[in-house]
Amino acid sequence: MEKNYEDQVEGRNSVLELLESGKDINKIFITKGEKHGSINKIIAKANERKIIIVEKDRKQMEEMATNRNYQGVIAIVPPFEYVEVEDILQEAKEKKEDAFILILDGIEDPHNLGSIIRTAETAGIHGVIIPKRRSASVNSTVNKASSGAVEHMKIARVTNISETIEKLKKAGLWICGTDIDKEKYYYNQDLTGPLAIVIGNEGNGIGEKVKKKCDFLIKIPMKGKVTSLNASVSTGIVVYEAVKQRNKINSK
Maximum Cα–Cα distance across the chain? 60
Same domain for 70 and 112, yes or no, is: no
- End-of-domain residue from the set 76, 104, 119: 76
Query: Each residue of 213-251: pLDDT tens digit?
Result: 999 999 888 877 665 678 899 999 999 999 999 998 877
Same domain for 26 and 149, yes or no, is: no
Given a contact cutoff of 8 angstroms between Cβ atoms, the answer to whether 131 and 156 are in contact is no
Domain that holds residue 190: 85-250
pTM for this predicted structure: 0.75
Provide the 3-class DSSP secondary structure of residue 185. Answer: strand
Same domain for 135 and 50, yes or no, is: no
From edge to edge, which strands make up the β-sheet containing 127-131?
155-158, 127-131, 100-105, 195-200, 174-178, 216-218
Local confidence pLDDT in tens for the 252 residues of the chain: 333 335 788 899 989 988 988 888 889 999 998 777 889 999 999 999 999 999 999 999 999 888 788 999 999 988 788 999 999 999 999 999 999 999 999 899 999 999 999 999 999 999 999 998 888 888 878 888 898 899 899 999 999 999 999 999 999 999 999 887 788 999 999 999 999 999 998 778 888 999 999 999 998 888 776 656 788 999 999 999 999 999 988 776
Same domain for 92 and 157, yes or no, is: yes
Residue whose C-alpha is closest to residue 120's, from 234, 245, 249: 234
Residue 49 is which amino acid?
A: R
By CB neighbour count within 10 A (0-12 exposed, 13-18 middle, 19+ buried), where does 203 fall?
Answer: exposed
Query: Each residue of 153-172: pLDDT tens digit?
Result: 999 999 999 999 999 999 99
Same domain for 98 and 223, yes or no, is: yes
Q: How many CB atoms are closer than 10 A to CB 216?
A: 14
